[in-house]
Chains A and B, each alone.
Chain A
């Protein structure tokens, strides 16, 4: 496997209570690439994203993060221990739909918590990196605030800094703006766009079509757990190959 591949998903399948949500999904995300996953609700896009860092355990198939298999120890074929799993997971960063900063920690400590207690960085080193990242998402001035004082958009920007602080090989965004008031969506999308310009590898599940079109290198469309279309955004949005996607795009406008 080439070093250029950040995430490699092979024949991934997953069912919930007998209902198949993902079927034989193959997806490759190259380093520095932004891949957007689109689809109606219930199409399996969030599940696909949550499988990448093993928050959902797939039934079949394999996922490699930067060449390392997640969830299953490749040598023995057994499930990874919690400790081994955490180690591979740390190679991914995730931003959730829910605004889930840790409320007992200040903004700065939300960002330094994992570098210190997972990576074993010194407090000084972790805080330097955290301030750099908070600067990047425009939240440095709030470093000593507690989450309950922040707006939804500010919380989500801190959540992005928190995920970046682990210096992951890929960032996963699970509908990062769906829980926000409409006027706060823009500030979060701007931060994500800036990250893509800086060359971060990202997989994004979103309902924001204009954003997806602007930021993606590759768009994949999931329908009933199957990727039915993958294309560069220009093609996807102007000349969709399937009738299913045409209908989907018409409904968005």
Chain B
């Protein structure tokens, strides 16, 4: 592989990285928001969210990406490929994250919550200061799992022409006629990215030990 191939590869890695990072950031936050809204059990909204979650969880990423990219323009919404890609990844990961957060809410200690309220905390302060810090730590294994699924599933967005880390290997081997080196290099880059995630998860697990009362 020459310098040009490497620079293409790194460009592909960057595309995968930033599109995934944006989707993860939106997906984790939106998932939390959905879990919070679902606590209120608002009649119509609850059904809508449940439907969204089951649909998004059941739809393959490639299908979802194509669907968004091909159908939205017929409604007059034209979007950039990257935006469509981010939207597909986000819609997919948000559904899974919402379930992870919801489980964290359901499992949160009622006793701790009552202690916070008895100390004069409003539910909002209790959520911010007592619940969320612990829910982040306990949910992190699940969230990181879902993040790495998202990164590994992200080649699906190549279907609408985004040149991500996997797609770029095709392009390189189309010129060099040597498919193996770029694929191996791409694999190493995927491992490096996901390795970073797993490393943060380890730190969280160490912190989680003290939550076991």
Chain A positions near chain B (C-beta within 8 angstroms)? 53, 55, 82-83, 86-87, 89-90, 92-94, 96, 98-104, 113-114, 117-119, 146-148, 159, 162-163, 166, 172
Is B119 an interface position by the 8 A CB rule? yes
Tell me whether B122 and A82 are in contact (CB under 8 A): yes
A238: shortest Cβ distance to chain B, in Å?
35
Inside 8 A of B213's CB, which chain A residues have their CB? 99, 101, 103, 147-148
A165, B79: Cα distance in complex, Å: 56
Whether B117 is near chain A, meaning CB under 8 Å from some CB there, is yes
Once A102-B130, A104-B133, A104-B134 are accepted as A-B contacts, the answer to whether A86 and B111 lie under 8 Å apart by CB is no
Whether A102 pairs with B121 at a CB distance below 8 angstroms is: no
Beta-carbon contact of B119 and A55 below 8 Å:
no
Determine whether B174 belongs to the interface, using a CB cutoff of 8 Å to chain A. Answer: no
Nearest CB of B to A97, in Å: 9
User: Closest Cβ of chain A: how far from B127's Cβ, in Å?
Assistant: 11
Q: Is B212 an interface residue (CB 8 A)?
A: yes
Chain A nearest CB from B91 CB (Å) reads 32
Chain A minimum-CB-distance residue to B121: A118
Contact across chains for A117 and B129 when beta carbons are under 8 A apart: yes
- Do the beta carbons of B111 and A166 come within 8 Å of each other? no
A118 touches B125 (CB 8 A): yes
CA gap between A94 and B213 in the complex, in Å: 20
Interface contact A166-B114, CB-CB below 8 Å: no
Q: B: which residues have CB within 8 A of A?
A: 109, 111-112, 114-125, 129-130, 133-134, 137, 209-213
Report the nearest B residue to A53, measured CB to CB.
B118
Query: Which of these, B112, B118, B210, B212, contacts A89 with CB under 8 Å?
Result: B118
Known A-B contacts A113-B129, A117-B129; A103 and B119 likewise in contact (beta carbons under 8 Å): no
B210 touches A148 (CB 8 A): yes
Question: Of B114, B137, B209, B210, which one neighbours A55 at CB under 8 angstroms?
Answer: B114
Please name 8 further chain A to chain B contacts, defined as beta carbons within 8 Å, in addition to the given A94-B118, A119-B120, sorted by A numbering. A55-B114, A89-B119, A93-B119, A94-B115, A102-B130, A103-B210, A162-B119, A166-B119
B22 → chain A closest CB, angstroms = 29
User: Across the interface, do A86 and B210 meet the contact criterion of CB distance under 8 Å?
Assistant: no
Min CB gap B140→A, angstroms: 13
Residue of A nearest to B123 (CB): A82
CB contacts (< 8 Å) of A98 on chain B: these are 111
Chain B residue contacts of A147, Cβ below 8 A? 210, 213
B115 touches A100 (CB 8 A): yes
Q: How far is the CA of A92 from the CA of B119 in the complex (A)?
A: 8
B212 touches A148 (CB 8 A): yes
Q: Which of the listed residues B112, B122, B124, B125 has the most CB atoms from chain A within 10 Å of its own CB?
A: B122
Known interface pairs A147-B213, A148-B212; A102-B118 also in contact (CB < 8 Å): no
Nearest 7 pairs between A and B by C-beta? A90-B120, A100-B111, A114-B119, A94-B118, A98-B111, A118-B120, A86-B122
Q: Which residues of A contact B117 (CB under 8 A)?
A: 55, 86, 89
Q: Give the complex CA separation of A14 and B116 in angstroms.
A: 23
Cβ 8 A contact of A104, one of B116, B121, B123, B210: B210
Q: Is the CB of B122 within 8 A of A100?
A: no
Assess the A96–B111 pair: CB atoms within 8 A: yes
Q: Chain B residues with Cβ under 8 A from A83's Cβ?
A: 122
| Minimum Cβ distance to chain B for residue A174 (Å) | 10
Verify A118–B119 contact, CB threshold 8 A.
yes
A86-B115 contact, Cβ under 8 Å, with A113-B129, A117-B129, A148-B213: no
- Nearest CB of B to A39, in Å: 21
A196 to B114, CA, bound (A): 24
Bound-state Cα–Cα, A119 to B117, Å = 13
Which residues on B sit within 8 Å (CB–CB) of A89? Answer: 117-120
The CA of A163 and the CA of B133, in the complex, are separated in Å by: 21
A166-B120 contact in complex given A55-B114, A103-B210, C-beta closer than 8 Å: yes
Least CB distance from B145 to A in Å reads 22
Min CB gap B75→A, angstroms? 41
CB-CB under 8 A from B112, the residues of chain A are 100, 102-103
Please determine whether A104 and B122 come into contact, CB atoms closer than 8 angstroms.
Answer: no
- Out of A99, A146, A163, name the residue touching B119 (CB < 8 Å): A163
